[in-house]
């Protein structure tokens, strides 16, 4: 062999060893029910982001709701596209003490789905080091406290204050809806390395190291990828994939304390209420568990609107659901569910609708 060939072989062997290092072995702890200590609520924040007026309206509605729940958290922060004119929202921002923080959108160029592109903006939460802890949630969500009164469900505002003080660096719920049933959470994590966590709600302790490492992936994926061959950058990677890849690395290296939020409380998609099969939702509890919409709804605190193919709730009046969803087989509706599910589905949308009527700014 020529000298340059030997050099090439050595380089390839070294590269192979480095990329294989740490690929096996037993992964460290996942904090399934993280412990909690007191926190200084005056230094914590809830954060949402909005890249257009619709989402700004949604974010404001959720924050007004949080104030009405008497949250102890001092800072309610909307990260908004700083090119938006937010004049109409200023009176509510003042009245409810909501911090409007204009940012440049974090985008990656050369992608063909600009709507999703914007979702990188949520990665800013890791750089908000003026706050000790953050609870982030997507603004197309609804905070719910459903209680029963004479067999009727009643809606109240609520907050997620109990998440502050978690003894982890970051915690997210499981993306339960895309995972095959598996009772064992460690095994489920191993089986779903690239899509285990859902990113529509995130507890985080902001940390510039996390932010910079994630941004390195967003902006310069090839630099990141050279020693992560199993987690190569793909053009269809969005915030959820990016955070998952990053956390998977950190999990293996024991670099961060990673917690799991209970998806039944914080991670439910509204689409679960138009689903006939709930086995994925139940994957971490005994398979004999029966789906009882009313009971399940009363345990949910945050629901994320993910209704496809039914339009988002702010585009659909609750009285005009008929062509989309029904429990009458003769109705010709697009989605057919049982009447109990439909009742609770409609309840969620009515709760949203009455908030929208109060707070939506045209």
Judged by CB under 6 A, how many residues of this single chain contact ligand NAG? 17
Does 293 participate in binding ligand NAG (rule CB under 6 A)?
A: no
Window 76-105: residues binding ligand NAG (CB under 6 A): 97
Does 44 participate in binding ligand NAG (rule CB under 6 A)?
A: no
Cis peptide before 309 (omega within 30 of 0): yes
Output the six-digit token pair for 306.
Answer: 């993910």
- Least distance from ligand NAG to the Cβ atom of residue 287, Å: 14
Which residue, 120 or 316, is less far from ligand NAG as judged by CB? 120
Which of 44, 158, 250, 326: binder of ligand NAG (CB under 6 A)? Answer: 158
Convert 107-141 to b/e letters by CB count within 10 Å (16 or more is b).
ebeeeeeeeebbbbbbbbbbbbeebbbbbbbbbbb
Does 299 participate in binding ligand NAG (rule CB under 6 A)?
A: yes
CA distance 299 to 295: 7
Does 75 participate in binding ligand NAG (rule CB under 6 A)?
A: yes
Q: Please name the residue ranges forming H helices in 104-204.
A: 114-117, 185-191
Which of 19, 145, 195, 207: binder of ligand NAG (CB under 6 A)? Answer: 145
- What backbone phi and psi angles, to 5 degrees, belong to 303? -120, 135
Does 40 participate in binding ligand NAG (rule CB under 6 A)?
A: yes
- What backbone phi and psi angles, to 5 degrees, belong to 152? -105, 140
Please choose, out of 176-184, 257-265, 267-275, 349-357, the segment that lies near ligand NAG by the rule CB under 6 A: 257-265
CA distance 289 to 294: 14
Which residue, 88 or 299, is less far from ligand NAG as judged by CB? 299
For residue 166, what is the DSSP state? B
Which of 227, 262, 306, 356: binder of ligand NAG (CB under 6 A)? Answer: 262
Residues in contact with ligand NAG by CB under 6 A are 33, 40, 42-43, 74-75, 97, 127, 129, 145, 147, 156, 158, 262, 264-265, 299
């Amino acid at each position: 062999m020529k000298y340059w060939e030997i050099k090439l072989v050595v380089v390839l062997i070294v590269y192979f060893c480095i990329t294989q290092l740490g690929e096996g072995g037993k992964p460290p702890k996942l904090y399934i029910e993280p412990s909690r200590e007191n926190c200084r609520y005056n230094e914590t924040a809830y954060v949402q982001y909005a890249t257009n007026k619709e989402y700004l309206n949604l974010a404001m509605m959720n924050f007004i709701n949080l104030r009405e729940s008497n949250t102890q958290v001092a800072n309610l922060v909307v990260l908004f596209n700083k090119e938006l004119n937010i004049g109409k929202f200023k009176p509510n921002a003042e009245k409810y003490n909501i911090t409007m923080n204009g940012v440049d959108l974090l985008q990656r160029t050369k992608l063909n789905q600009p709507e999703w592109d914007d979702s990188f903006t949520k990665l800013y939460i890791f750089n908000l080091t003026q706050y000790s802890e953050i609870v982030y949630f997507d603004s197309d969500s609804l905070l719910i406290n459903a209680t029963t009164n004479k067999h009727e469900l009643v809606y109240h505002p609520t907050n997620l204050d109990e998440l502050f003080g978690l003894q982890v660096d970051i915690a997210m719920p499981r993306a339960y809806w895309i995972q095959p049933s598996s009772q064992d959470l460690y095994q489920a994590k191993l089986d779903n390395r690239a899509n285990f966590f859902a990113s529509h709600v995130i507890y985080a302790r902001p940390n510039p190291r996390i932010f910079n490492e994630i941004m390195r992936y967003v902006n310069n994926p090839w630099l990141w990828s050279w020693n992560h061959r199993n987690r190569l950058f793909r053009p269809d990677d969005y915030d959820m994939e990016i955070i998952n890849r990053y956390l998977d690395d950190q999990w293996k290296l024991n670099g961060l304390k990673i917690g799991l939020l209970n998806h039944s409380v914080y991670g439910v998609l509204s689409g679960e209420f138009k689903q006939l099969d709930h086995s994925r939702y139940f994957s971490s509890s005994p398979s004999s568990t029966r789906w009882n919409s009313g009971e399940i709804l009363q345990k949910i605190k945050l629901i994320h609107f993910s209704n496809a193919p039914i339009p988002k709730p702010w585009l659909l009046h609750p009285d005009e659901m008929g062509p989309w969803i029904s429990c009458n087989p003769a109705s010709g509706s697009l989605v057919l569910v049982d009447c109990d599910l439909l009742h609770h589905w409609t309840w969620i949308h009515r709760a949203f609708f009455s908030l929208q009527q109060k707070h939506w700014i045209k």
